[in-house]
């Protein structure tokens, strides 16, 4: 039996440890966080994040071999294996601001581990980090004169929010990277053994430490690049009467390319894509590779363009002004099935519309509280309305910004009746039935498709 600890009870730490505890009843798993309120929520009936299937997994393991605690020091002392899953945001100050990763929480956590340790431990990098961070960690951790030895292992998370439990239960692969020394290999084996409790051994990939750290950045960069690539093509489709969904289907059926992550949209969001690509860009610049840096930076630039041009298209379609017009935004979360609004394109569109002095109403089933917090002072100018029908009433336009499936099921006939005419739909996720909406009387604008309008003149 091992004592497993996770520092950081966020979107990654919480679900990851819950699934580990569920599948490894022989291990004791504790999750700690500096935020005592968050820990209290993990111990309550109302978990701090919305994630399908999470409640059930937590209910199975909590109190049995899964514990949430705000008492960090003593739990570090007892742990054999420590996963670190604290946040690593983009630096906002000093050298590398806006690109490099801010590692201050990581370093603080390393020192906290050192301070509270009385035995040797394996420290696992779960957070996404710049390649070669493990070296800095090893230097801090092993700078003690108490005879303690720490092995740093990289085990990047590949779970996506909204499908976190499924991704953890049946991962495409698990990656574990370590130093190729005797103690490094032993530490790696300890982590492999945890996953081998439920993941087929051939899906557990082992690698050297630097390959593992870099692979996480590269996986996210490739995924984001596909979205930016199809979004770039969507813009060309809008100029040429091609339909991006047809193009994506035709292109994606080539087995070398594959069909996934080719949905054109108002842009990608989430805590990882932008941060990780900027981190990659910074690393390339740091290592004297400006052309490589510029290549990847374009993925982020394309995504920013996608958000701002969406707002411009809305304004242009609505007779070049949205000032004072009520506009209902369907969706605040950065994707469906999550309450997370970090880097959400919905909020970027909201901000753009506020600049144009529109009167914005946002509806979302789970993400309104986070949206309100993220918008800061601007939230005062926005109405947050859980009921989509109320949100759309008296609106000039509705814009779909998150691919929540229940937006597809709404009674658009009734919504149309309650709106100001001419009524507009902007489908930033291409999930609605555009022909049907057009027949109801809407003027329909989708991403990468010819608009369907009902104007007679
Ligand atoms: C985090 C990282 O941001 C990301 O780089 C990585 O890929 C996965 O882990 P996430 O779990 O989504 O992502 O972050 P967040 O929900 O913000 O959770 C981080 C938690 O760490 C927070 O609850 C925060 O309170 C906690 N924390 C932060 C600590 O416990 N100690 C610290 O020193 C700093
Ligand atoms: C991502 C990675 O997928 C995951 O492996 C990693 O561990 C963390 O970062 P996540 O950010 O949770 O996960 O969501 P993801 O499903 O990758 O979607 C990211 C964004 O891209 C969302 O805003 C989504 O709506 C958008 N997207 C995705 C598209 O616009 N089109 C697509 O075809 C796919």
- The SS3 call for residue 448 is coil
Residue 101 has pLDDT above 90, yes or no: no
Residues in contact with ligand 2 by the CB-under-6-Å rule are 157-161, 220, 223, 227, 261-263, 265, 268-270, 272-273, 334-335
Considering only CA atoms, which of 111, 84, 88, 86 is closest in space to residue 100? 88
Instruction: Flag whether pLDDT at 133 surpasses 90.
Output: no
* Ligand 1, atom nearest to 85 Cα: 9
Judge whether residue 417 has pLDDT over 90: yes
Quick one: pLDDT at residue 211?
94
Q: How confident is the model at residue 1 (pLDDT cuts 50, 70, 90)?
A: confident
Digit-coded pLDDT (tens) for 286-333: 999 999 999 999 999 999 999 999 999 999 999 999 999 999 999 999
Asked whether the CA dihedral 290, 294, 297, 301 is positive or negative, the reply is positive
Residue 360 three-state SS: strand
The model's pLDDT over 269-283, given as tens digits with 9 standing for 90+, comes to 999 999 999 999 999
Residues 106-134 as b or e (16 or more Cβ within 10 Å = b):
beebbebbbeebeebbbbbbbbbbbbebb
CA distances from 51 to 78, 223, 233, 358 (A): 30, 21, 32, 32
Length of the chain equals 457
- Mean per-residue pLDDT over the chain, rounded: 96
88 pLDDT more than 90 = no
In whole angstroms, give the CA distance from residue 379 to residue 406. 25
Query: What number of other Cβ atoms are within 10 A of residue 386's Cβ?
Result: 12
Distance (Å) from CA 25 to ligand 1 centroid: 25
Q: Could you tell me the distance, in angstroms and rounded to a whole number, from the CA of residue 334 to the centre of ligand 2?
A: 9
Taking the CA of 175 as reference, the closest ligand is: 2
Residues annotated as part of the active site: 272
pLDDT digits (tens, 9 = 90+) for 56-68: 999 999 999 999 9
Q: How far is the CA of 12 from the centre of ligand 1 (A)?
A: 7
Q: What value does the mean pLDDT take over residues 378-403?
A: 98
Q: For position 242, what pLDDT does the model report?
A: 97
In this prediction, residue 134 carries a pLDDT of 87
DSSP string, 271-330: SSHHHHHHHHHHHHHHTT-HHHHHHHHHHHHHHHHHHHHHHHHHHHHTTT--TT-EEEEE
Closest ligand, as measured to the CA of 343: 2
Region 229-256: what's the mean pLDDT? 98
Say which ligand is closest to the CA of 344.
2
Ligand 1 atom with the shortest distance to the CA of 34? 30
Q: For residues 174 and 198, is the Cβ–Cβ distance under 8 A?
A: no
Count of beta carbons in the 10 Å neighbourhood of residue 445: 25
Find the helix packing angle between 104-116 and 133-141, rounded to 10°.
Answer: 30
Do residues 83 and 126 make contact, with C-beta atoms less than 8 angstroms apart? yes
């Amino acid at each position: 039996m091992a004592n497993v600890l996770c520092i950081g009870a966020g979107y990654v730490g919480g679900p990851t440890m819950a699934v580990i505890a569920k599948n490894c009843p022989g291990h004791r798993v504790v999750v700690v966080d500096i935020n005592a309120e968050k820990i209290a929520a993990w111990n309550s009936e109302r978990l701090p994040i919305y994630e399908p299937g999470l409640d059930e997994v937590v209910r199975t393991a909590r109190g049995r071999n899964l514990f949430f605690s705000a008492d960090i020091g003593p739990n570090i002392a007892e742990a054999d294996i420590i996963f670190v899953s604290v946040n690593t945001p983009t630096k906002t100050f000093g050298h590398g601001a806006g690109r490099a990763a801010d590692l201050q929480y990581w370093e603080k956590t390393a020192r906290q581990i050192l301070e509270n340790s009385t035995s040797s431990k394996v420290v696992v990098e779960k957070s996404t980090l710049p390649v070669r961070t493990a070296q800095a960690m090893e230097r801090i951790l092993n700078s003690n004169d108490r005879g303690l030895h720490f092995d740093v292992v990289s085990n990047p998370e590949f779970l996506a929010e909204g499908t976190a439990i499924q991704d953890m239960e049946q991962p495409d692969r698990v990656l574990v990277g370590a130093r190729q020394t005797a103690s490094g290999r032993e530490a790696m084996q300890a982590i492999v053994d945890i996953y081998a409790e439920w993941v087929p051994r051939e899906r557990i990939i082992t690698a050297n430490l630097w390959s593992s750290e870099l692979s996480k950045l590269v996986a996210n960069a490739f995924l984001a690049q596909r979205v930016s690539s199809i979004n770039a093509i969507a813009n060309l489709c809008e100029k040429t009467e091609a339909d991006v969904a047809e193009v994506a289907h035709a292109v994606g059926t080539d087995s070398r390319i594959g069909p996934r992550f080719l949905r054109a949209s108002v842009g990608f969001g989430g805590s990882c894509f932008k941060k990780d690509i900027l981190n990659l860009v910074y690393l390339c610049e740091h290592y004297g590779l400006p052309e490589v840096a510029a290549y990847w930076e374009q993925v982020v630039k394309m995504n920013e363009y996608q958000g701002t041009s969406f707002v411009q298209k809305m304004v242009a379609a609505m007779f070049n002004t949205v000032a004072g017009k009520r506009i209902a935004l369907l969706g605040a979360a950065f994707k469906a099935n999550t309450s997370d609004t970090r880097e959400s394109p919905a909020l970027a569109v909201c901000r753009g519309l506020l600049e144009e002095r529109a009167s914005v109403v946002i509806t979302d089933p789970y993400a309104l509280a986070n949206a309100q917090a993220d918008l800061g002072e601007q939230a005062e100018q926005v109405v947050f309305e859980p009921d989509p029908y109320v949100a759309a009433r008296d609106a000039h336009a509705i814009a779909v910004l998150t691919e929540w499936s229940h937006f597809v099921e709404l009674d658009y006939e009734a919504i149309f009746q309650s709106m100001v005419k001419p009524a507009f739909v902007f489908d930033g996720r291409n999930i609605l039935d555009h022909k049907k909406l057009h027949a109801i009387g809407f003027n329909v604008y989708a991403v990468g498709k010819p608009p369907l309008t009902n104007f007679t003149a």
